[in-house]
Chains A and B, each alone.
Chain A
Amino acid sequence: MPKIKLPTKTPHIDMTPMVDTFAVVLTFLLLTTTMRQPEPANVDTPFSISETPTPDFNAMTFLLSPDGQVFMNFDNGPDTILKYRPKILVEMGKRYGIEFNEFEQREFEKYPSSIGVPIGQMKEFLNLKEGSARNKLQTGIPLDSADNQLAMWIQYARTVNPNYQACIKGDSQTEFPVVKRVLDILQELNVKRFSLITNLEAAKINLEEIQQ
């Protein structure tokens, strides 16, 4: 009788289908994640228990950096034809006697993160190619009472899109006078409801412990 020869090799598992599935999932995740653009200032937002998600559209966001600079960001609206950003820029240009051409408007429209450039340097900023050179011009929007460009931006943004909701994104270490100044400007322009951007954290309260 012939002997049965047992295979001595280790069994080989075919990983191909697994790789295929993983590739599909990975592609899906890659496509769905919205890449966050680096902001001109590093901001660590404080924590709160609020669970309302950040609005995707109709948000004007003011970024308050720890060194007191203010940057702003408007979204283009839920529809690509609305193009809120270039409209706001043109209005701002009219106010300050600066004419922005097609190219500059397009650059402003697609600039992915917050902008903190005084309106006088906006033209130069938009015509620059390099990101690092651009970042050098990001000195924050002037907001003192003599040259309150932030108020103008807010005013024109709300003229273009009255539904803009004001959001404030500040660093935990941002000093209060800067925050106060921005709140005052908003209040003066009759923007009384606004949102503070925070990260989620859980709060635990033990009522019995407190009642003693």
Chain B
Amino acid sequence: MAEVIVEDKGKGGKKKAKKHPPRLDMTPMVDLMCLLITFFMLTTAFSKSKVMDITLPDKLTDPNQKAPVIAASRTLNIILGPNDKIYWYPGAVKPEEYNNLPPVMETDFSATGIRQMLLERNRALFKKIDDFRQQVISGKIEISQDSTESAVRKLKTDDDTGPIVLIKAYKEANYGNFVDILDEMNICGVARYTFVDIAWYEEKMVEAAAGVAATGTTSTN
């Protein structure tokens, strides 16, 4: 293609030195193309972003409508605080007792923080899901990808031991925290969790724990 073969027919018996076909050195071109191909292959494979589905509870528009009552013993309140901190407390708080609010525990997004806390409380279900997945991977159970997911969903709906997590966000939290906490729910296989509005007494509890002034300025620590 690139090499043009020039053949000298030789005129009138005059002996000429055979002309060498001109050669192009293609090596740099090949190098460049290699680089470009690598670049395009990597970018096409990794650029596709993923989505995480979430469902919000119904908005209570009717004042007579009451929020569903959940067992306080299984309730776990997680509040996203300022500076990538998480505050949590188990059970429910009565707003009447605002003078004597229970303390909130502080943790963070590391593997030994919130993840450990959640797994401790959700171990039974997490183990069930994990065992099931291991069996699928090792080939003991032959099942398609879709059925695996629905089987895991079934395990989750049947579960009645794990915590019911209520996720709330303090006003100084950021979107990254929100995604991270939902991701932790998926990682730890928490069956029941939802995102709800933060209550005024919970804001107070976070402020007390984080040392944030009630005006909402950033904390000093």
Contact of A171 with B by CB under 8 A: yes
Pick the residue among A32, A192, A210 that contacts B58 (CB under 8 A). A192
Q: Which residue of B lies closest to A15 (CB)?
A: B26
Contacts of B171 in A (CB 8 A): 175-177
Cβ A196 vs Cβ B26 within 8 A: no
| Known contacts A12-B23, A176-B169, A29 near B51 by CB under 8 Å | no
Cβ B186 vs Cβ A49 within 8 A: yes
Cβ A20 vs Cβ B1 within 8 A: yes
Contacts of A51 in B (CB 8 A): 50
Which of A29, A45, A52, A210 neighbours the largest number of chain B CB atoms within 10 Å of its CB?
A210
Cβ A174 vs Cβ B179 within 8 A: no
Cβ B187 vs Cβ A203 within 8 A: yes
Pick the residue among A14, A195, A207 that contacts B3 (CB under 8 A). A14
Interface size, chain B (Cβ < 8 Å): 57
Cβ A195 vs Cβ B53 within 8 A: yes
Give A8 Cβ to nearest chain B Cβ, in Å: 14
Cα(A196)–Cα(B52), bound, Å: 5
Among B32-40, B86-94, B98-106, B201-209, the one that faces the other chain is: B32-40
Give A33 Cβ to nearest chain B Cβ, in Å: 5
Pick the residue among A14, A50, A176, A200 that contacts B175 (CB under 8 A). A176
Cβ A25 vs Cβ B175 within 8 A: no
Q: Which residue of A lies closest to B169 (CB)?
A: A176
Binary contact readout A175-212 vs B (1 if CB under 8 angstroms, 0 otherwise)? 11111100110111000111111111001110100110
Contacts of A197 in B (CB 8 A): 49-51
- B residues engaging A (CB < 8 A)? 1-3, 23, 26-27, 29-30, 33-34, 36-37, 40-41, 43-44, 47-59, 80, 111, 115-116, 119-120, 123, 126-127, 130, 169-180, 182-183, 186-188, 195
Closest 8 A/B residue pairs (Cβ): A172-B176, A15-B26, A195-B51, A29-B40, A170-B175, A22-B33, A50-B52, A46-B179
